[in-house]
Amino acid sequence: MEIAEEPLHGGVMEITFPGGKQVVASYKGFVINTDQPKHRGGGGAYPAPFDIFLASIGTCAGIYVLSFCQERKLPTGGLKLVQRMEHDKLTKAITRVDIEIQLPADFPEKYKNAVVTAAGLCTVKKCLGEPPSFNIFAVKNAGGAHG
């Protein structure tokens, strides 16, 4: 099996380790900094990777909601999403995610169900429903140690 350098959708992300418990992802010209919280040996300077994952769910639903409203010239003043996660007490795994769309007072009632449907179209949510396969492997860096 040959792995493409630049897949059709997604591209290549580089992950580096600047020090301590910090891990940095470079992707599409952006730098995404992560760190572990202090109680896990990190400095707490940036969100933990799982926190960014959770934020990606809410922000993805959020752009679908915002775009839905903007395309229809619906009011967005005070529009907000609130995401709540439930955890299994034993495993600590997330068992449920609730996303509450707080609509402006003057939001037309006839669009209420449609905006909920729009939020459900989020590609992050869809990816969780049909997760990709993972292929994790190791290779030696031909140039020696880099740091």
- 61-120 confidence digits (pLDDT tens): 999 999 999 999 999 999 999 999 999 999 999 999 999 999 999 999 999 999 999 999
Split into its structural domains, the chain has a count of 2
Let me know if residue 38 belongs to a domain: yes
Say yes or no: 92 and 39 in one domain. no
Whether residue 84 sits in one domain with residue 60: yes
**What is the arithmetic mean of pLDDT over 124-135?**
94
CATH number at residue 62: 3.30.300.20
Range of the domain at 18: 10-47
Residue found by looking up tokens 């955890």 in the block: 87
Of the chain, the percentage scoring pLDDT greater than 70 comes to 90
Residues 14-55 have pLDDT tens digits of 999 999 999 999 999 999 999 999 999 999 999 999 999 999
Share of the chain above pLDDT 90, in %: 87
Cβ 54 vs Cβ 85: under 8 Å: yes
Q: Tell me, yes or no, whether 69 and 86 share the same domain.
A: yes
Looking at the structure, do residues 17 and 70 belong to the same domain, yes or no?
A: no
Kindly report the average pLDDT of the chain as a whole number: 92
The pLDDT confidence band at residue 142, using thresholds 50, 70 and 90, is confident
Q: Evaluate whether residue 101 is within a structural domain.
A: yes
Query: Do 77 and 100 fall into the same domain?
Result: yes
Residue 142 lies in a domain: no
Which residues, 6+ apart, have CB-to-CB distance to 75 below 8 Å? Answer: 69, 104, 106, 107
Query: Same structural domain for residues 61 and 79?
Result: yes
Shared domain check, 121 and 73: yes
- Does one domain contain both 90 and 126? yes
Residues 31 and 41 in one domain: yes
Whole-number pLDDT of residue 4: 45
Do 35 and 74 share a domain, yes or no? no
My answer on whether 23 and 93 are in the same domain is: no
Question: Residue 94 class from Cβ within 10 Å (0-12 exposed, 13-18 middle, 19+ buried)?
Answer: middle
Answer yes or no: do 62 and 104 share one domain: yes
Q: What pLDDT, on the 0 to 100 scale, is given for residue 75? A: 97
